[in-house]
Amino acid sequence: EVQLVESGGGLVQPGGSLRLSCAASGFTSSDHHMDWVRQAPGKGLEWVGRTRDKVNSYTTEYAASVKGRFTISRDDSKNSLYLQMNSLKTEDTAVYYCVMVPLLWGQGTLVTVSS
Amino acid sequence: QSVLTQPPSASGTPGQRVTISCSGSSSNIGSNYVHWYQQLPGTAPKLLIYRNHQRPSGVPDRFSGSKSGTSASLAISGLRSEDEADYYCAVWDDTLSGVFGGGTKLTVL
């Protein structure tokens, strides 16, 4: 079955760090652009960042709101990608989805930044 | 403020046809494919239409998409109660980023 499964969400204090994981199955993630998208409670979708496919050397792009704080990486041996989130702010509270652009979304993992 | 503009709400009665619009610019819709996602309450977005008008396997032909210039639209015919959901248009720019509409909440009266 083709799917994406995120994990690693939870409650973290402002200024803290968290690392999200996204495990791909049923396809080779390195062949695809993979994005992170988030959705704050009751709000719409917000693009967070991208890691391009292997052909494009896994180059990354980030939204202005997270640039310098968030880092996307991959581990091809685990068919997975990661979102390292540092210096977290309360406004980063959201469900985080990984996306095989544009076809497939994971179920999401909730990140709550609160003291 | 979303990059792509959608009406915040839409409604219809069972059996009716409803259209949801998505407006952008030459740098997003005008030069890229438009995709549509359906988000049922409490669930992740699901691909409904890709590359302007293509339907993934399993999506009923009641759902259709179109694009003209810097605008796109999603049409739902034969409206059903299970179509009540949030609908998002999206453009995934191959060189830079993804942009979304603000979402349209569809109510089946």
Q: Report chain A's terminal Cα–Cα distance, integer Å.
A: 39
Binary contact (A61, B96; C-beta < 8 A): yes
Q: In A, which residues are within 8 Å of B2 by CB distance?
A: 44
Binary contact (A33, B94; C-beta < 8 A): yes
User: Token pair 């210039």 is at which residue?
Assistant: B69
Give residue B49's pLDDT: 97
A44 → chain B, closest CA residue: B102
Please write the tens of the pLDDT for every residue from B42-95.
Answer: 999 999 999 999 999 999 999 999 999 999 999 999 999 999 999 999 998 766
Task: Quote the distance between the C-alpha of residue B71 and its chain's center.
Answer: 11
Six-digit token pair at B99?
């942009």
The one-character DSSP state at A91 is: G
B54 → chain A, closest CA residue: A103
Please list the residues that pair with B6 across neighbouring strands.
none
Please write the tens of the pLDDT for every residue from B27-44.
Answer: 899 999 999 999 999 999
Binary contact (A45, B90; C-beta < 8 A): yes
Binary contact (B90, A102; C-beta < 8 A): yes
Instruction: With H, G, I as helix, E, B as strand and everything else as coil, classify residue B7.
Output: coil
Instruction: With H, G, I as helix, E, B as strand and everything else as coil, classify residue B29.
Output: helix
Give residue B103's pLDDT: 97
- How many CB atoms neighbour CB B54 within 10 A? 12
Please list the residues that pair with A49 across neighbouring strands.
A36, A62
Q: In A, which residues are within 8 Å of B94 by CB distance?
A: 33
Phi first, then psi, for residue A97 (nearest 5°) are -115, 140
